[in-house]
Structure 1
Amino acid sequence: MSDRYQQGMKTRRAVLGEAHVERAEAGKTEFDADFQRFITEYAWGELWQRGGIDRKTRHLITIALLAALGHEHELAMHIRATARTGVSLVEVREALHQVAVYAGLPAANSAFAVAKRTYVEMGLLEPTGGSHE
């Protein structure tokens, strides 16, 4: 594999965690193997390697964009990854407030529900038994 792929795997493991990457690798098929290589080389091996902002800031931007676009599965995955990038619960909450104003209340409401559920699963919030909506 290319150097960019190797660097991408290193960064992907650092951000998402060994277990997540191993599950993704084990789930690869002939159908999506090339796409997984593409993600690893260009998202993780190129974009996440750029200078100008630190990894924590890049991760917070990623979370806000995923929330704004309504990509709930990826949002939950990246919220779980905050334990490895230093993005705090408070910083995520504030980013989601930004999403409400600049991307719309429905997007932020969904993102808050995903974040709340994910933080409960992570043991960082107590379950309330009620719905966020």
Structure 2
Amino acid sequence: MHQPAQDSARYREGLAVRRSVLGDAHVDRASKASTEFDQPFQQLITEAAWGTVWARPGWSKRERSMVTLALLAALGHGEEVAMHVRATANTGATREDICEAFLHVAIYAGVPAANRAIKIAKEVFAEMDAQGDNAK
């Protein structure tokens, strides 16, 4: 399989942004779990999502976090919703911000999608509170 270009500037920038948003522990786990099969995917998301989109100027990490949560909720991607709710501890998006994003989801993408996302967020908040790692 293809060997990643982990020395590219976009990859390095993407990795730094990914770590700043998701945290070192998450990125280290994903890296450790990566295999030859999914390495091209890991390179793609690191360069494209993190090194291109999340690294763009103009929007703060808080704003990108809110939009990302709304899109993931609207599309029904529960695991990703949970991951990005946890990431708000690093992006500055508050629980009120998340609530507002999910209210938009309810109107523009449907109440069931927002209801599921709210349920997931409440579970993640409970975990974060129990660990003392909470974004207010």
Under a length normalisation based on structure 2, what TM-score does the superposition of the two structures give?
A: 0.89
Aligned to 1:85: 91
How many pairs were matched up? 124
After TM superposition, give the deviation of residue 50 of structure 1 in Å.
1.3
Partner residue of 1:131? Answer: none
- 1:50 aligned counterpart, secondary structure: coil
Residue 8 of structure 1 is matched in structure 2 by: 14
Query: Which aligned runs of 4 or more in structure 1 are off by greater than 3 angstroms?
Result: none
- 1:33 correspondence with 2:39: yes
1:52 offset after TM fit, Å?
2.3
Q: 2:52 aligns with which of 30, 41, 46?
A: 46
- What are the ranges of 5 or more consecutive residues in structure 2 without an aligned counterpart? 1-6, 131-136
1:72-119 Cα shifts (integer Å, max 9, x gaps): 000100000100010000110111011000000110110010001010
TM-score with structure 1 length normalisation? 0.91
Segments of structure 1 that go 5 or more residues without pairing to the other structure are: 125-133
- Residue 27 of structure 2 is aligned to residue 24 of structure 1: no
* Alignment partners' CA distance in 1, 2:104 and 2:30: 31
User: Tell me, what secondary structure is at the counterpart of 2:64?
Assistant: helix
Paired with 1:98 and 1:42, the residues of 2 have a C-alpha distance of: 26
